[in-house]
Amino acid sequence: MSKQWRWIRPQHLIGIFIGIGLIGAIALGFGVNGSVFKGQRFTSVPPVLAPVVAADNPVELRGVWLTNIDSSVLFSANEVRYGLQRLAQLNFNTIYPTVWNWGYTLYPSAIAQSAVGETIDPHIGWQNRDLLEELVEQSHELGLAIMPWFEFGLMTPSYAELARRHPNWMGQRQDGSSVVMQGRHPRKWLNPLHPDVQQLIVGLITEVVQRYDIDGIQLDDHFGMPVELGYDPYTVAYYRETHEGQDPPTDVNDLDWVQWRADIITQLMGQIVTAVRLIKPDCHISLSPNPQPFARDKFLQDWEQWQQLGYLDDLIVQVYRGGMESFEAELDRSRLQGIKGQLPISIGILTGLRNRPTEDELIVQQVQASRDRAFSGVSFFFYESLGDRDSLFQRLFPAPALRPGEAVSQVE
């Protein structure tokens, strides 16, 4: 089956033609009962939504992230099978399963073996199976596009084997410390300038692109570095070499110093894009960042420049907000609106965290606000927090939809 037809299956075509009927049936009374998620009950009933576009040709990204943090969906073949079947039945069309997390890969990797001494995460659930191969095979059978997600990017647990074996790969503050707290979790960050780090990251990504029949890859906000880092000996020596012997500024927010370090990450992104497209020219390169200017100013991720350089095929901007006013304000920022016509831009919506599900009504309102502003779709963080709320997502996605760009490829 040719690439352009992979994501639309016969059952989807049938579903598209009966979409109007489904919407009408939903409107006539398939209500949402209070549903239980992590011991909490939902009582609000979301309003019935109009279809996002004409029912005979819907186009919308409908994604979800699958992680091994606070979630069991990836830990067994049965869980994977059930989860993907469920998502397909709910008319999702794209999955973003983590493949790089906690300093380990979740697929058998020769690159990881050389870096950390393990071909795959040694914890229970990953041994004697190739999770990514399972996901690729089953997602394509169900008409789902699959974009392996390098969730930890340049970040690693401070206690991970990766950090223990390679302390010279880690970014540092001016005082020589390297641990950065992420909530209650101590993290370290790989130095994007170090050639061994560059070899590791490019190697992991190209390994996946070469070995698996994936539709694309995704990086996120962790493909950056906290602004207080960049004072490790390797980076300082390189800065002196390129600045006539001067030391880096002591002000971590110095504009030129911020841009210099951001440009290093941009150069690494360029290496990844070049290598991926050399192997598989049609491999979709997706990024899910924080909004600008936060991404650049706090994590040295100048993704607007990446977009201008043609590195990205789509964006899913994380707009994880607990209220509509701040959510809509982010969607209405002029810099986001200004690039909306240049590539598909979708909105990342938080459906909940561990034991803290987002209320149904807020999810509905945020999806509708994204649609009202003609963004390309939505993706939900994360699978586990969808909860026992299938009726909610049936209301949001009453009929199947093509992914952005998919309709164009079929015309071609």
pLDDT at 70 (0 to 100): 87
Tens of pLDDT, residue by residue over 198-250, are 999 999 999 999 999 999 999 999 999 999 999 999 999 999 999 999 999 99
Q: Please report, to the nearest 10 degrees, the dihedral formed by the alpha carbons of residues 153, 155, 159, 164 taken in order.
A: 80
- Where do the structural domains in the chain lie, given as residue ranges? 3-411
Confidence of residue 355 (pLDDT cuts 50, 70, 90): confident
pLDDT at 34 (0 to 100): 32
Whether the pLDDT of residue 178 is over 50: the answer is: yes
User: In Å, how far from its chain's centre is CA 314?
Assistant: 11
Whether the pLDDT of residue 5 is over 60: the answer is: no
User: Mind giving me the DSSP string for 331-354?
Assistant: HT-HHHHHTTTTS-EEEEEE-EET
206-236 core/surface letters (b: 16 or more CB in 10 A; e: else): bbbbebbebbbbbbbbbbbbbbbbbbbebbe
pLDDT at 380 (0 to 100): 98
Confidence of residue 410 (pLDDT cuts 50, 70, 90): low
pLDDT at 55 (0 to 100): 46
Whether the pLDDT of residue 48 is over 70: the answer is: no
Tens of pLDDT, residue by residue over 254-278, are 999 999 999 999 999 999 999 999 9
pLDDT at 409 (0 to 100): 55
Cα–Cα distances (Å) from 197 to 75, 162, 215, 373, in that order, read 28, 11, 25, 39
Tens of pLDDT, residue by residue over 91-138, are 999 999 999 999 999 999 999 999 999 999 998 778 889 999 999 999
Q: What is the CATH number of domain 3-411?
A: 3.20.20.80
Number of residues written out for the chain: 412
State the residue for tokens 């399972």: 134
**Residues 354 and 39: beta-carbon distance below 8 Å:** no
Whether the pLDDT of residue 363 is over 70: the answer is: yes
The full 3-state SS of 135-186, as one line of letters, equals HHHHHHHCCCEECCECCCCCEEECCCHHHHHCHHHECCCCCCCCCEEECCEE
Q: Which residues contact 229 (CB under 8 A, 6 or more apart)?
A: 171, 172, 173, 178, 180, 189, 191
pLDDT at 43 (0 to 100): 32
Q: In this predicted model, which residue has the larger pLDDT, 35 or 263?
A: 263
- Phi, psi of 288, deg, nearest 5: -120, 90
Whether the pLDDT of residue 81 is over 90: the answer is: yes
Q: In this predicted model, which residue has the larger pLDDT, 340 or 155?
A: 155
pLDDT at 304 (0 to 100): 97
The dihedral sign for the CA sequence 346, 71, 396, 331: negative
Q: Which residues contact 245 (CB under 8 A, 6 or more apart)?
A: none
Tell me what percent of the residues of the chain surpass a pLDDT of 90: 80
- What's the pTM? 0.86
